[in-house]
Amino acid sequence: MFAETDLKTGATYVQLSEAPVARTLVHLSEVIMVDVDEYGTPVGVEIVAPVNTIDRDDWRALADVVPEVKQIFRDYFPA
């Protein structure tokens, strides 16, 4: 896993695997996009806003697509 943040814009990209990107899920949220491989497995996440500004609904949408995010979501947004 690799993460890179653009300090000017606050955007972050998290690479989950080295598999080639087949398509990008752009309608996940207004500020989060997920790159997936040919099988629909997430390979990267782009967050185009500072992470500390992402709201609960956007994190939930990401957790629905990227299983690794589910525990993080539970830790930060308990039911």
What does the domain layout of the chain look like in residue ranges?
2-76
pLDDT at 79 over 60: no
How many C-beta neighbours within 10 Å does residue 40 have? 11
Q: Specify the higher pLDDT residue, 77 or 12.
A: 12
How many C-beta neighbours within 10 Å does residue 55 have? 11
Q: Which of 56, 34, 30 is nearest to 46 (CA)?
A: 34
Residue type, 11: A
Q: Specify the higher pLDDT residue, 22 or 1.
A: 22
pLDDT at 77 over 70: no
Radius of gyration for the alpha carbons in the chain, expressed in angstroms and rounded:
12
Average the pLDDT over 47-58 and give the result. Answer: 86
Helix, strand, or coil here: 65?
A: helix
